[in-house]
Amino acid sequence: MKADNQKTISIKLKPEIKEKLLHLSKIKDRTPHWMMNKAITNYIEQEDRNEQLRQETLERWKEVEQGQVVDHEKVSKWLDSWGTDNKEDI
């Protein structure tokens, strides 16, 4: 029984890919459908993580460009001053 939220999409595979898919599905005791669904799901999840990382990187870069970050050297001096009489400010 098909879940209501699932839709069928067909794809064309090169013959050699189809053969490998059928071979692997036999070896793994899984249906070709299961194998394709798993592969596509894994790919989409990875690409989604990559895109999230890309967006976070772009946001951080904007902060750098706008001067909203503290320079590494200043942070190092500040940390080195901990526990001393000459406490640095950031």
| Whole-number Å distance between alpha carbons of 21 and 15 | 10
pLDDT value, residue 86: 80
- Positions of E strands within 1-90: none
Name the residue ranges covered by the structural domains of the chain. Answer: 15-80
Residue 1, pLDDT score: 53
CA dihedral sign, ordered 28, 31, 34, 40:
positive
Positions of the chain with pLDDT lower than 70, given as ranges: 1-3
Would you state the pLDDT for residue 39? 97
Determine the pLDDT at residue 10: 92
